[in-house]
Amino acid sequence: MPEFSTHTLAFSLSGFLVGLLVGQTGVGGGSLMTPLLVLLFGVHPTAAVGTDLLYACATKSVGTLIHGRHRTVDWRVVGRLATGSVPAAIATLAVLSSPSMRMGPEASRIVGACLGLTLLLTAVSLVFRARVMALSARMEGGWSARHTKALTIATGAVLGLFVTLSSVGAGALGVTALLLLYPKLPTTTIVGSDIAHAVPLTLVAGIGHWWLGSVDTVLLVSLLFGSIPGVAIGSRLSVRLPDAVLRGLLASVLALVGARLLF
C-alpha cells in the first residue's frame, strides 16, 4: 500500500517538526498540527481536532517529564489552571455530544470558526509577547495572591473551552497569560508549567473526542512516531533560532492559516 506508506511518512515528519518546536518553546502543537491536518492533508476538522488532542497529550507528557527533571514546572500553577480548564473541557464536550451537534455539519462549522479565531488570537499573542513580558516586569507585586489565583483559574477555563473546540491555545495563549500573572517566575518555568498543564487538559478533551468518534487512530500513531523523539530533542536543545525570529515566523503562519479558516 504505497499511498498509505507515503502518508504515514508525511504525518510522522510533520509530528517530528511540530514536536521539536513544542519542546523548545511550549508553543506550536495544536497551533500548527491541526491546521496542517486540515489544510495540507485534507483531514475533517473534527477528526483533526480530536486526533491532535491525544497527540498533544502524549507529546507534552514527554516534555513534562523532561521539564520536571530540570525543576522547571510550578505544580501550584498547573493545579490552578487545571481547576478551571478540566471542568470547562467537560462542559464543552457535553455540548458537542448533544444530538444536534454530534459529528454534524454544525459542529464542523463551529470547530472550524473557533480554530480560525484561536489561531488569530495566538498570532497576536506571539507578536506582542515582548511587550507582555515588559509589562509583566513592571507589574511585580501588582497582583494580590487571591486575585492571581482567581485569574489563573479563569484563564484555565478559557483555555479549556478553546482547546476542546479547536485543540489550539494551550501554548501561546497560556504562556502569554502566565507571563502577566506570574512576573517573578522564570520564562523556562512558565513554559514548563504550561506544557505540564496541557497534559490533563488534552487528555480529558481527547478522551471526550474519542468517545464522540472524532479520533483517527492510524493518524494518531503516525504522528506520535515522529513527535515523541521531536519533543525530546527540542526540550534538550540549547541552540535554537533567536526567540524573536521564531515568534515572528510562527505568528505569520498562524495569522495566514487563521484567516484562511475564517474567510
**Cα separations (Å) of 112 from 15, 25, 106?**
21, 25, 10
Q: Judge contact between 30 and 56, C-beta under 8 A.
A: yes
Cβ proximity of 185 and 178 under 8 Å:
yes
pLDDT at 178 (0 to 100): 85
Provide the terminal-to-terminal Cα distance of the chain, rounded to the nearest Å: 36
Query: Quick check: helix, strand or coil at residue 133?
Result: helix
More confident residue, 158 or 263: 158
pLDDT at 3 over 50: no
Cell numbers found for residue 126 = 506571539
pLDDT number for residue 151: 93
Neighbours of 163 (CB within 10 A): 32
Model confidence at 243, in pLDDT bands (50, 70, 90)?
Answer: low
**Closest listed residue to residue 159, CA positions, set 92, 240, 249, 248:** 92
Residue 148's contacts (CB-CB under 8 Å, 6 or more residues apart) are 181, 182
Query: What number is the average pLDDT over the span 95-100?
Result: 76
> Model confidence at 2, in pLDDT bands (50, 70, 90)?
very low
Tell me the per-residue pLDDT of 136-175, one tens digit each, with 9 for 90 and over: 666 655 567 778 899 999 999 999 998 888 777 777 678 7
Q: Which amino acid is at 191?
A: V
Q: Tell me, what DSSP letter sits at residue 36?
A: I
DSSP string, 13-24: HHHHHHHHHHHH
